[in-house]
Amino acid sequence: MAVIHQGPNELQSKMDDYRRAREPFLFARAFNKHLARQRSAKRAGIIMLIAGVCVLAFAAVNVFFFRGGLVAGAFRLMLSWSENVELSFSLADASNSNSFLLIALDVIIHFVTRPLRFIISKLLLLLAPFASLSVIIVLFVLPVSAIWIAKNALWGAEQPFVHTYTESGEERVLRIGKEGEENALAILNRLDDTCHLFTNLRIPYDGGVSETDLIAVTPKGITIIEVKNHKGVIRGDADDEQLLQAKTSRRGVVREEPFYNPVKQVATHAYRLSGWLRENGVSAYVRTCVLFVHPEAALSMTDKNKVSALRCPVFTVSQSAALVSYVKGAAPSSFDNARCAELLTGLTERQNAEFEARKAG
């Protein structure tokens, strides 16, 4: 296993800062929604309970005091109305009034209400043998169901408040980046203990700072690995300013999002690292490569100017063995890996100390 030197965990620190800033607001909002749901559940439960008790009381009075007469009387009244109700106007009266509008209104009422009364009367006659069963359902089963629903509503209103934190879009991006670096570190950890891996180092040189993902120092060379946790098809040329990430949504819609070409990004890191080492008395050729660590990443890149083939190869997680072999590759014989590892170890310790001081302050 390689010797790992963990640099300042800036991604985790940013995630913690986001959470500290957002969680009180999200907690208060979720708690207010919980209280509102409790109040609504209690109101609904009380209304259902009162309605169920009232219907049960009516059923008891109807059965024990009127022998079912109240419901039976209502049933007979509906049947009688459907059979005997007469039209408000007759064709004879309308014709005597010499009113065309009255005649038209009478015809409409006659032809609309007569089929309706016929249908209602047939339905009531059809249900007549089951009147007692319908009375039992309406007056007993429904109110008991209402009381049972009310009990569940009132019980649910007393459930304890449980808050689940939901990450923001910025936190999701940071988490995906952090997971990608951890997966890349697990792949390169296959190197033996003569190799040193440095994570999250900031290299200051020429008025700028490069934030590197992984630096591997082996007895034969030094390599910067730029890690990307993008999924989907990666399109473009290795010498383009931007690449395209083609992602498929859950609905099957394919969209392409541009992002800065990591081949160019890691070339800037190599320039600054080699310059910083030179300032500290170490002359070394810094090699570069890019690793798309997401298991669903697929490369569809061209290399017209032989940038990837000659200077910066691009790997996917399925090519992890080739990545390890590349990191172990040969370098100039004058390379002083011990001195290089010592310098980077010192830089890591200083940056970790500064990082902890900033957090404490």
183 domain residue, yes or no: yes
15 domain residue, yes or no: no
Q: What is the pLDDT of residue 315?
A: 93
Select from 273, 111, 100, 113 the least CA-distant residue to 201.
Answer: 273
What whole-number distance in Å separates Cα of residue 18 and Cα of residue 267? 31
Domain boundary among 111, 133, 157: 157
CA angle 170, 176, 178 (to 5 degrees): 105
The pLDDT tens digits along the chain (361 residues) read: 778 888 887 777 777 777 777 778 777 877 788 778 777 777 777 777 777 777 767 666 665 655 555 555 555 555 454 444 444 444 444 444 444 555 555 556 556 666 766 676 666 566 555 555 555 555 666 667 777 777 666 666 666 766 676 777 777 877 888 888 888 888 988 888 889 999 989 999 988 899 999 999 988 889 999 999 988 899 998 888 999 998 877 777 788 889 999 999 999 999 999 999 999 988 888 999 999 999 988 888 888 877 666 678 999 989 999 999 998 876 555 677 888 888 899 989 888 888 888 877 6
18 domain residue, yes or no: no
Q: What is the pLDDT of residue 88?
A: 42
Q: What is the pLDDT of residue 210?
A: 92
Task: Go through 154-166 and write b for each residue having 16 or more CB atoms within 10 A of its CB, e for each that does not.
Answer: beebeeeeeeeee
Domain boundary among 136, 157, 178: 157
Same domain, 322 and 229: yes
163 domain residue, yes or no: no
Domain boundary among 157, 186, 205: 157
* Joined tokens for residue 7: 């640099």
Same domain, 215 and 152: no
Longest dimension (CA), the chain: 124
Same domain, 241 and 319: yes
Same domain, 173 and 153: no
Same domain, 45 and 178: no
8 domain residue, yes or no: no
Same domain, 328 and 223: yes
Q: What is the pLDDT of residue 26?
A: 76
Same domain, 109 and 35: yes
The length of the chain, given as a count of residues: 361
Same domain, 64 and 106: yes
317 domain residue, yes or no: yes
What whole-number distance in Å separates Cα of residue 349 and Cα of residue 343? 10
Same domain, 91 and 226: no
Q: What is the pLDDT of residue 216?
A: 92
Q: Which domain holds residue 345?
A: 169-360
Q: What is the pLDDT of residue 227?
A: 93
Domain count, the chain: 2
4 domain residue, yes or no: no
Same domain, 137 and 60: yes
Same domain, 186 and 305: yes
Select from 10, 41, 66 the least CA-distant residue to 202.
Answer: 10
Q: Note the Cα 77 to chain centre separation in Å.
A: 58
Q: What is the pLDDT of residue 153?
A: 66
Same domain, 124 and 191: no
162 domain residue, yes or no: no
What is the radius of gyration, based on Cα positions, of the chain? 40
